[in-house]
A and B are shown apart, each in its own frame.
Chain A
Amino acid sequence: MSDEHKPVPASEGENPFIGGEHTYATVTDKIAAIALARRTSKGWVLGFLFSFALMQLLLVAVGYLLYKGVGIWGINAPVYWGWAIINFVWWIGIGHAGTLISAILLLVRQEWRTSINRFAEAMTLFAVSCAGLYPLLHVGRQWFGYWLLPLPNTMRIWPQFRSPLIWDVFAVSTYATVSLLFWFVGLIPDLATLRDRAKVKFAKTMYGIFAMGWRGSAKHWYRYETAYLLLAGLATPLVVSVHTVVSFDFAVGIVPGWHTTIFPPYFVAGAIYSGFAMVLTLTIPIRAIYGLQDFITDRHLDAMAKVMLATGLVVAYGYMMEIFMAWYGGHPYDMYMVLNRMRGPYAPGYWALIACNIVIPQLLWSSRVRANAVFLWVLSLVINVGMWLERFIIVVTSLHRDFLPSSWGMYYPTKWDVMTFLGSIGLFLTLLFLFVRLLPVISIAEMRGMVSSPTDKEGGHH
């Protein structure tokens, strides 16, 4: 079903990224109906209950952590960065695709982003919420978490601004704030639509409050579009900076396997790679359940698969350069670290990561694979697993063999690590289920711009 061999020229006035016969009204009604449906579907209730139950694992795990301390996790000398940091990097990386889709693809005028940007932005927001939990839980005495912030205090001390860890605090909190602003600004016109179309008084009032009296004035649209474009321009360097700073957490240290200049670009590429995988993991079922194939077409999936393939190759290049530089640099610790990854106790994890992130995704070269939604969905799960393993290998293999053999050790996660991780997936899914039920999953205002206006139907042209 791949139609890349016969691309539809834009001059024909037909938009290949939207299927079926749609007008302003049908686009509005179709997307708004998902949020405004009076009856909640049984599938949604079951899915929500499952996610909510999964989230309770987080509650229990965090509750016990607060009571007992980080000793309940598998971290100990020499591996003090366990699943908490792995999951932090994994989640924040997932978030990056949302910003890439909403900001960077907007600036480079990739119109196909319109169908998926709202959803991807929500995913970013929820992924960043999950990510933000981990460093806070990892600090040990969580009730002093605010010490991370530069607040005046009676001890008259300040955070250390030469440390990547404080850069991380600024990068992640700025990223969370800007993602929220971007998402909310995008939502304002749609909230007005929901306000005008809601039948239930309570829903009408709530949408009305958040729509802030938006009335679609031409002057307002003008400033709105200016603000949206500026936000996209700001979010673009921001998203690159965030995973760069995350990679600095590793690269600024002198630990073999971390101390490399390839880390920032390869972390950013990896983040986008895993993020697109997560977007596919989520959009494929959602478009099937809510019948959104007209808006999220097979061409969208194809385009996302191509982005995954490209970023996956950048990641593969990063892995190769790590090995090459260890050999070329002639540093015995670096070389040992590389060989230990391949042949040491964590070798199965390393080879699984190579299989998940590099070998299997090469199937994406085939247009038949990219056109098969089910296959693509399975592949996206494989990449999600692969990117998690990547962070595991980076964190654990570099730490567990310290400079002196007397300090060597092994790292094993405990059941509390597993519960916290599964619980954060529960939190993520719970937020997503609420989002899908209460807000338009596709930007209605932007989709109206994708359908032909009534004049075009009459044969006229803009």
Chain B
Amino acid sequence: MDLPLYGLMAEFENPDHILHAAKTAYAAGYRRMDAYSPLPIHGLAEAVGFRKTYLPLVVLIGGLTGCFVGFAFQYWVSVVNYPVIIGGKPMNSWPSFIPVTFECTVLFAALSAVFGMLALNGLPHPYHPVFNVDRFERASRDRFFLCIEARDPKFNRDDTRKFLEMEEFHACEVTEVMV
């Protein structure tokens, strides 16, 4: 009991139950919480208070950067640094530069999507308190977990436990998560 408490975690068998529990918890004023599931559940992120992700913007900026860098580099090479007349074409024979520009756009955008997603998600993140719960292994198999964190201003060890154990949630078990 001397270990610092990370939060209280309720386990569910069913995606609908966790969705209901998360929405009720948010309505009850809890803000610092997260849900864990073996598959994406639509509406669950919104239910725990997630509003929006900037990832699409990151990818757009990545793609535009790739497009600009790809074309500008070819222009610089073909017009400024190493001008050679090929097939009687003008130095800035831009139609021939389109394929490489396109590939650079896709490459930069795809790299931004993957590394942007990992960065915004804070991954890699090898240690996390939720892994201390033995039953959490099933979060990657068939169970759903809702964790209300101790840093939530409304968090209270006993009240929050009572809240999560409410009959209507059908939680199978409520566990303390230690840091």
A residues contacting B by CB (< 8 A) are 23-25, 28-29, 150, 156-158, 160-162, 164, 166-167, 170-171, 174, 177-178, 181-182, 184-185, 189, 192-193, 195-197, 208, 212-227, 230-231, 234-235, 237-238, 241, 245, 248, 445-446, 448-449, 453-455, 460, 462
Chain B residues with CB under 8 Å of A460's CB are: 16
Most chain B beta-carbon contacts within 10 A, residue among A156, A164, A177, A213? A213
- When chains A and B are docked, how far (Å) is the Cα of A366 from the Cα of B54? 49
| CA–CA, A301 and B8, complex, Å | 47
A24-B141, A160-B86, A178-B110 given; 18 more Cβ-contact pairs under 8 Å: A25-B142, A28-B38, A150-B73, A158-B82, A162-B89, A167-B99, A167-B103, A195-B140, A196-B138, A213-B128, A216-B139, A218-B37, A218-B41, A224-B40, A225-B40, A226-B53, A230-B109, A446-B39
User: Closest approach, in angstroms, between the C-beta of A312 and any C-beta of chain B?
Assistant: 27
Supposing A161-B78, A213-B126, A448-B39 touch, asked if A219 and B45 sit within 8 A by C-beta, the answer is yes
Number of B interface residues at 8 Å Cβ cutoff, please give it.
68
Residues in A whose Cβ lies below 8 Å from that of B121: 217, 219-220, 223-224
A72 to B4, CA, bound (A): 71
Q: Is the CB–CB distance between A196 and B141 below 8 Å? A: yes
Q: Which residue of A lies closest to B118 (CB)?
A: A212
5 A-B residue pairs with Cβ-Cβ distance under 8 Å, sorted by A, are: A158-B77, A177-B110, A223-B120, A230-B55, A241-B103
A171 x B128 contact (CB < 8 A): no
Give the chain B neighbours of A193 by CB distance below 8 A. Answer: 38, 140-141
CA distance A433 to B142 in the complex (A): 28
Interface string of B60-95 (1 = CB under 8 A from A): 000100000000011001100110101101000100
The reply to whether B99 and A227 contact each other, CB–CB distance below 8 Å, is no
In the assembled complex, the Cα of A225 lies from the Cα of B117 at a distance in Å of: 9
Cβ of B35 under 8 Å from chain A = yes
Residue of A nearest to B52 (CB): A222
Are A222 and B99 in touch, CB under 8 angstroms?
no
Is A219 a contact of B50 with CB atoms below 8 Å?
yes
State whether A189 touches B125 (Cβ < 8 A).
no
> Least Cβ distance of A2 to chain B in Å?
31
Which of B14, B45, B77, B141 sits near A218, CB closer than 8 Å? B45
Given contacts A160-B86, A177-B107, contact A219 B34 (CB under 8 A): yes
Chain A residues within 8 Å of B56, by CB: 226, 230
Count of A-B residue pairs with CB < 8 Å: 196
**Would you call B45 and A197 a contact (CB within 8 A)?**
no
Q: For window 1-53 of chain B, which residues contact chain A by CB distance below 8 Å? A: 13-16, 22, 34-41, 44-45, 47-48, 50, 53
Q: Say yes or no: is B171 at the interface (Cβ < 8 Å to chain A).
A: no
For residue B41, which residue of chain A has the nearest CB? A218
A216 engages B36 (CB within 8 Å):
yes
B109 and A222 form a contact (CB under 8 A): no
B100 interface residue (CB < 8 Å to A):
yes
Most chain B CB neighbours (cut-off 10 Å) among A150, A166, A193, A217? A217
Q: B179 near A: Cβ within 8 Å?
A: no
Q: Tell me if B113 is interfacial: C-beta within 8 Å of chain A.
A: yes
Is the Cβ of A192 less than 8 Å from the Cβ of B124? Answer: no
Would you give the 0/1 interface string for B90-132, flagging 1 where the beta carbon is closer than 8 Å to chain A?
Answer: 0001001101101110110111011011101101111110110
Q: Tell me, yes or no, whether B150 is within 8 Å of chain A by CB.
A: no
Instruction: Give Cα distance in the complex from A206 to B69, angstroms.
Output: 37
Q: Are A221's CB and B113's CB within 8 A?
A: no
In the A-B complex, list the 10 residue pairs whose CB atoms are closest, starting with the nearest.
A227-B117, A212-B124, A24-B142, A222-B45, A213-B125, A167-B99, A25-B142, A162-B96, A218-B35, A221-B40
Q: Are A170 and B141 in contact (CB under 8 A)?
A: no
B-chain residues with CB within 8 Å of residue A181 when the two chains form the complex = 110-111, 113-114
Pick the contact of A231: B39, B114, B118 (CB < 8 A): B114
Min CB–CB distance B99 → chain A (angstroms): 4
Instruction: Tell me, rounded to whole Å, the shortest Cβ–Cβ distance linking B178 to chain A.
Output: 16
CB of B173 within 8 A of chain A? no
In the bound complex, do residue A234 and residue B106 qualify as a contact, i.e. CB atoms below 8 Å apart? yes
Kindly state whether residue B137 has any CB partner on chain A within 8 Å. Answer: yes
B127 & A445 in contact (Cβ 8 Å cutoff): no
User: Please, which residues of chain B bring their CB within 8 A of the CB of A454?
Assistant: 13-14
